[in-house]
């Protein structure tokens, strides 16, 4: 089976690339070539910028694919571009959407694929929803689509928190824990949150590749591992051999200091994200939900503690974070 990934070297897609090669799939990856050292041996590299048709069209003249997976599309316009490029070159097009696209507030849990999409709080999620709507409206029998909605998927280097600086400065939060400075968890910390290791995601996802039963279907793909945010934070403290120092602060107070996270919090991480995975399990004989966060957190912590080059601190974030805590405790 001949597969093309657009992207392929990200946190989720690199695990899928590894699983695809393990299954002896004929895998091609089209990207700009900036991070391909993470890809396994056996992947065919097609170098090009998906936003530059001049670099893409020559590759398409030379190849047709049983399936094309789009890992790095975020808007309806991206999908319009892909439809123009890939129609006639593949039997199946898989769009990686997001489980955050489900309507907020949620109607009920567990979440099923039948629930409406449309997220009024987060532009990222709303754009994914609009992109999905564009695809499903195509109705092109020669361009079979599959939509996949991951939820919070992580790898062996991920430190998971609701409020943190960007990924380049993750150590900021570990440093706080090591110094016994408070870690803020919004509201009461009891929101339920599903975590999916990228290896579990990859096992099920590869069952969709080139699978006619997945044509014109939508799946969320998550594990069955569910935690509260307090539990997730406690797991990190245990890996650091530190006692928890968690401070609960109402989200509206937090947003006075970090307004840019409103969409991510109110549109996603403050909702009970618990999923009914029966649909993906029905089509995926290799579905797994084996890896819990507690199983990899020691690796994630070691990634930062054992290499000083990973120990970058966001001083501006830290200053604002401390001021928020001081102001809250005085209020």
pLDDT of residue 165: 97
pLDDT of residue 185: 98
pLDDT of residue 34: 79
CA distances 235 to 11, 177, 185, 297, Å, are 21, 12, 14, 7
pLDDT of residue 32: 85
Judged against a pLDDT cut of 90, whether residue 8 lies above it is answered with no
Judged against a pLDDT cut of 90, whether residue 315 lies above it is answered with yes
Mean pLDDT (the chain) is: 96
For the residues 277-303, what does the mean pLDDT come to?
98
Please tell me the pTM assigned to this model: 0.96
Confidence of residue 307 (pLDDT cuts 50, 70, 90): very high
Judged against a pLDDT cut of 90, whether residue 279 lies above it is answered with yes
212-259 tens-digit pLDDT: 999 999 999 999 999 999 999 999 999 999 999 999 999 999 999 999
> Could you tell me what percent of the chain has a pLDDT over 90?
93
Angle between helix 315-330 and 171-178 (nearest 10): 50
**CA gap 82, 73 in Å, rounded:** 9
Residue 329 CB coordination number (10 Å):
10
Judged against a pLDDT cut of 90, whether residue 55 lies above it is answered with no
Confidence of residue 9 (pLDDT cuts 50, 70, 90): confident
Q: Report DSSP state, residue 158.
A: P
pLDDT of residue 262: 96
Residue 296 CB coordination number (10 Å):
19
Peptide bond into 105 cis (omega under 30): yes
Judged against a pLDDT cut of 90, whether residue 268 lies above it is answered with yes
pLDDT of residue 304: 98
pLDDT of residue 33: 78
At 230, list the tokens.
């307090």
24-48 tens-digit pLDDT: 999 999 998 777 888 999 999 999 9
Give the gyration radius of the chain's Cα atoms: 21
Q: Which of 51, 56, 7, 54 is nearest to 27 (CA)?
A: 7
119-172 tens-digit pLDDT: 999 999 999 999 999 999 999 999 999 999 999 999 999 999 999 999 999 999
Say if strands 226-228 and 192-197 run parallel, antiparallel, or are unpaired.
antiparallel
Judged against a pLDDT cut of 90, whether residue 175 lies above it is answered with yes
């Amino acid at each position: 089976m001949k597969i093309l990934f657009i992207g392929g070297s990200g946190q989720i897609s690199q695990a899928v690339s590894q699983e695809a090669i393990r299954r002896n799939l004929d895998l091609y990856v089209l990207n700009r070539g900036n991070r391909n050292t993470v890809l396994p041996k056996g992947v065919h590299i097609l170098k090009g910028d998906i936003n530059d048709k001049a670099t893409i069209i020559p590759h398409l003249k030379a190849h047709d694919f049983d399936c094309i997976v789009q890992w790095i599309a975020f808007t309806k316009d991206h999908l319009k571009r892909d439809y123009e490029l890939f129609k006639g070159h593949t039997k199946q097009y898989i769009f990686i959407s997001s489980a955050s696209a489900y309507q907020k507030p949620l109607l009920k849990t567990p979440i099923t694929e039948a629930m409406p999409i449309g997220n009024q709080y987060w532009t990222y999620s709303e754009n994914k929803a609009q992109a999905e709507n564009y695809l499903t409206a195509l109705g092109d029998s020669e361009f079979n689509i599959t939509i996949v909605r991951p939820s919070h998927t992580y790898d062996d280097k991920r430190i998971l928190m609701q409020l943190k600086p960007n990924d380049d400065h993750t150590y900021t939060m570990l440093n706080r824990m090591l110094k016994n400075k408070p870690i803020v968890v919004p509201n009461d910390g009891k929101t339920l949150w599903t975590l999916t290791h990228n290896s579990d995601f990859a096992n099920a996802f590869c069952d969709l590749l080139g699978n006619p039963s997945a044509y014109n279907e939508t799946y969320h793909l998550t594990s069955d591992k569910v935690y509260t945010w307090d539990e997730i934070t406690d797991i990190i403290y245990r890996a650091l051999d530190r006692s928890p120092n968690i401070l609960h602060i109402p989200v509206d107070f937090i947003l006075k200091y970090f307004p840019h996270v409103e969409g991510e919090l109110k549109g996603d991480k403050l909702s009970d994200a618990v999923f009914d995975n029966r649909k993906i399990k029905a089509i995926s004989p290799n579905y797994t939900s084996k890896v819990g966060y507690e199983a990899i957190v020691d690796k994630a912590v070691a990634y930062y503690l054992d290499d000083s080059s990973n120990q970058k601190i966001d001083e501006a974030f830290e200053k604002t974070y401390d001021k928020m805590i001081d102001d809250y405790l005085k209020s």
